[in-house]
Structure 1
Amino acid sequence: MTLQTIADQVGVSRMTVSNAFSRPDQLSSELRERVLAAAEALGYAGPDPAARVHARGTTGAGGVLLTESVGTAFQDPIAAAFFGAVAEELAPTGLAVALLPSTGSAEMVPARDIPMDGAMVYACAGDRMAVTYLLRRRLPLVFVDEDPVGDASSVLLDDRPGAAAAAQHLLDLGHRRIGILTTGFGLPPGVAPDPMDAGTGYVSRERVAGWMSVLGPAGVDVTVVHITDNSEAHADQGIRTLLALPDRPTAVLCFSDLVAWTVEQVAREQGLRVPDDLSVVGYDDSPVARNAQPQLTTVRQDLAAKGQAAASVLTRAIARSRGEAGAPTGPEHVLVPTELVVRASTGPAPAEA
């Protein structure tokens, strides 16, 4: 079954049948319906996708490279909401979304093998092999929540002001012993490098920089604990380390709402009241923050705005790579604002502190 089979059945040209599937604006509604009805009656599903890619020189797909497996990423409410916003923004363009884990077998490396017109690199450091493959393919790239590489575009949260506002909020409440729980990607167990070290990842580095820009000059007692990743198990270990200190913190600034939620659970288990004995601040304003007991003070990021910006920047980067009229002349760099949201998990420092 070919395009010509359908053309002969309807009595039109092969190009008319092709347009019915791929360029519907070139046909009247009545003619397109006739062509599609004939195709359905004959059991024809449409032009072969591989042949269409070869003919057009485009795939009609944009990749999103993840830090981990696709299944794990969808368990993260922040990542899932971001992907949803990206998909909604790309839907009118006809560009499909291909989710790519940053790891794969030697036989199948998605970043190397899957056809795509461009890709977003979501929170993946530029030294990962998967990113290297994308760069070698010379694809238009947009780095999201990670430092861009080369002439790639980027969409980043303006993390420092949000983190600084959270730290100032605790100072204004009288806290002078403050703990920080943040991720440290790739750090060996027990190693606590300079929190400003670029090796801890863009997001962690920016949030720590924002917190310390306020806490450092204030001369307060700050303890930074790096956890392996943004998971409940590692957050549990981190907060137990902080609470075991002789002079335990009266407040904790957390890398994410999930980490902050875990801090509340462990504090409650140890007989501490939030916020009477321990104030807790999250980051992201995910559903976890609003469902926590008490609800979390946090730093809000607009996930819809970030996803929409990333999708728009990617489509423009693809247009730039094709030399389309009106496309940007160089890479774009977008900062998405953040804001402090005060809820019930923070309060005045305990009197004895």
Structure 2
Amino acid sequence: MPLRTEPGSADAPLAPGPPPPTRPTPPAAYADLHEGGPGGTGGVVARVTLQTVADKVGVSRMTVSNAFSRPDQLSSDLRLRILAAAEELGYVGPDPAGRALARGTTGAVGVLLTDSLGMAFRDEIASGFFGALAEELAPTGLALALLPTRGSGETIPARDIAMDGALVYACAGDTPALDWLVRRRLPLVFVEQPPLPGYASVVLDDVGGAAAGAQHVLDLGHRDVAILTMAPHGEHGLVADVARASGSYVDRARVRGWTETLRAGGARVSAAQVPDNSERHGYEGARLLLDGPDRPTAILCFSDLMAWGVVHAAQDLGLRVPEDVSVVGFDDSALAARIRPALTTVRQDLAAKGRAAAVALTRAIEAARTGTPLAEPLETVLPTELVVRRSTAAPRVTARAG
């Protein structure tokens, strides 16, 4: 694995408010087709249709449809005339559902998330991946539809939303939403979790990345090392055997890389597990590990966000980073370089992950569209890179008796 080093009041009269907004004046041709217009029907609103535009331009309905759906079938001048007439009439185009039926594609792909849609916007790594994915899919005309794992009432997004395929992003394998996607026989790509048989996957070398972080602190001389990880539905607090604690695929893979390497290097390992990947939970977990006589000299963290919480906790306890405790993160998010001291971490390439996921998904969608079975699903494992900054150093004291 490559190693990279970087430097480090209530009664007052109300003032008159602004005048109410005025409604924009619709195009003349649009007004003619509505109540009060010269061509209106005395109170009944007439809907602008494909035929309305065709009559205005003097072409067939199919020609107007092609202007929106198959522009290569028309001359540039004719298409511009049709689009100008449509805009003047207030016509936005053929009904999307009808277009999807005619073309055999919805133009959308779903992304099934772990617990809530909010996660995609709060988590810097998740949002970075979705941004990279959207950039890669943009030239194909495919748009992203975020799918929660749970439905509301009679609405189940994974069952009801039209899509050409979906990404399953770090979800539990037994979620009902995933079952709906499989039952619909949609092309699927699994990201950051093992795939179901017959489906493509894109995963990070989490084991190797964690092992590199663990080996780094061993090489610095640390032999009292703590692991701080997460498991939303597992055991929380100090755990005797973190390797047996429950968590997601990513959690378990990183724990494996840490523990195997540390034990092989003769280190004494302590661990804390928290319910969520957040700075607050990282802080709380670090207090459990550091606020005692047998504190570790180094902490390996599930993410940069949790590592930030560790740095805060250490400082609140009067400890210096890295002199009293070294801290290693994971992901190399933008936060890692902003933390003081700058954070040693394990880098993942979000652009490469987005590109790999887009390639695998579009390949699966095309195979399903053409009825061509894939010889075998793509299995992509992306490399990681250890980035050494200023949050790690050799231990200056021994925290535990030998």
After TM superposition, the score normalised by the length of structure 2 is 0.84
Structure 1 residue 90, shift from structure 2 partner: 0.7
Give the match for residue 142 of structure 1.
Answer: 189
**Mean Cα deviation higher: 3-12 or 107-116:** 3-12
Mapped partners of 1:243, 1:188: distance in 2: 19
Pair 94,232 (structure 1): closer, same or farther in 2 beyond 3 Å: same
Structure 1 residue 130, shift from structure 2 partner: 1.4
Structure 1 residue 76, shift from structure 2 partner: 1.1
1:62 aligns with 2:109: yes
> 2:227 is matched with which residue: 159, 180, 186?
180
1:330 maps to amino acid: E
Mapped partners of 1:25, 1:150: distance in 2: 40
Q: Give CA deviations for 1:207-244 in whole Å, capped at 9, x if unaligned.
A: 11111221111121001211111022322221111113
Mapped partners of 2:114, 2:51: distance in 1: 45
Higher helix share: 1
Pair 132,206 (structure 1): closer, same or farther in 2 beyond 3 Å: same
Structure 1 residue 199, shift from structure 2 partner: 4.0
Structure 1 residue 103, shift from structure 2 partner: 2.2
Whether the 8 Å CA contact 2:324–2:397 is kept in 1: the answer is no
Mapped partners of 2:161, 2:244: distance in 1: 34
Matches for 1:120-135 after TM superposition, within 5 Å: 120-135=167-182
Give the match for residue 62 of structure 2.
Answer: 15
**Mean Cα deviation higher: 271-280 or 204-213:** 204-213
Structure 1 residue 10, shift from structure 2 partner: 1.8
Give the match for residue 22 of structure 2.
Answer: none
Give the match for residue 262 of structure 2.
Answer: 215
Give the match for residue 320 of structure 1.
Answer: 367
Mapped partners of 1:198, 1:25: distance in 2: 58
What secondary structure is seen at the aligned counterpart in 2 of 1:200?
A: coil
What secondary structure is seen at the aligned counterpart in 1 of 2:198?
A: coil
> 2:155 is matched with which residue: 108, 117, 140?
108
Whether the 8 Å CA contact 1:125–1:147 is kept in 2: the answer is no
Give the match for residue 271 of structure 1.
Answer: 318
Matches for 1:33-112 after TM superposition, within 5 Å: 33-112=80-159
Whether the 8 Å CA contact 1:161–1:210 is kept in 2: the answer is yes
Structure 1 residue 251, shift from structure 2 partner: 0.2
Give the match for residue 350 of structure 1.
Answer: 396
Listed as ranges, the gaps of 5+ residues in structure 1 are none
1:187 maps to amino acid: G
> 1:340 is matched with which residue: 374, 386, 390?
386
Structure 1 residue 111, shift from structure 2 partner: 1.3
Structure 1 residue 55, shift from structure 2 partner: 2.5
Whether the 8 Å CA contact 1:144–1:155 is kept in 2: the answer is yes
Mapped partners of 1:317, 1:263: distance in 2: 42
Pair 102,199 (structure 1): closer, same or farther in 2 beyond 3 Å: same
- Name the larger-Rg structure: 2
Structure 1 residue 317, shift from structure 2 partner: 0.9
1:261 aligns with 2:331: no
Mapped partners of 2:182, 2:243: distance in 1: 27
What secondary structure is seen at the aligned counterpart in 1 of 2:118?
A: helix
1:155 aligns with 2:202: yes
Q: Give CA deviations for 1:110-162 in whole Å, capped at 9, x if unaligned.
A: 11211111111111121112111111211111111111123221110011111
Pair 312,24 (structure 1): closer, same or farther in 2 beyond 3 Å: same
Identity, % of aligned positions: 62
2:120 maps to amino acid: A
Q: Give CA deviations for 1:170-198 in whole Å, capped at 9, x if unaligned.
A: 01110000000011231144584853459
CA root-mean-square deviation:
1.8
After TM superposition, the score normalised by the length of structure 1 is 0.95
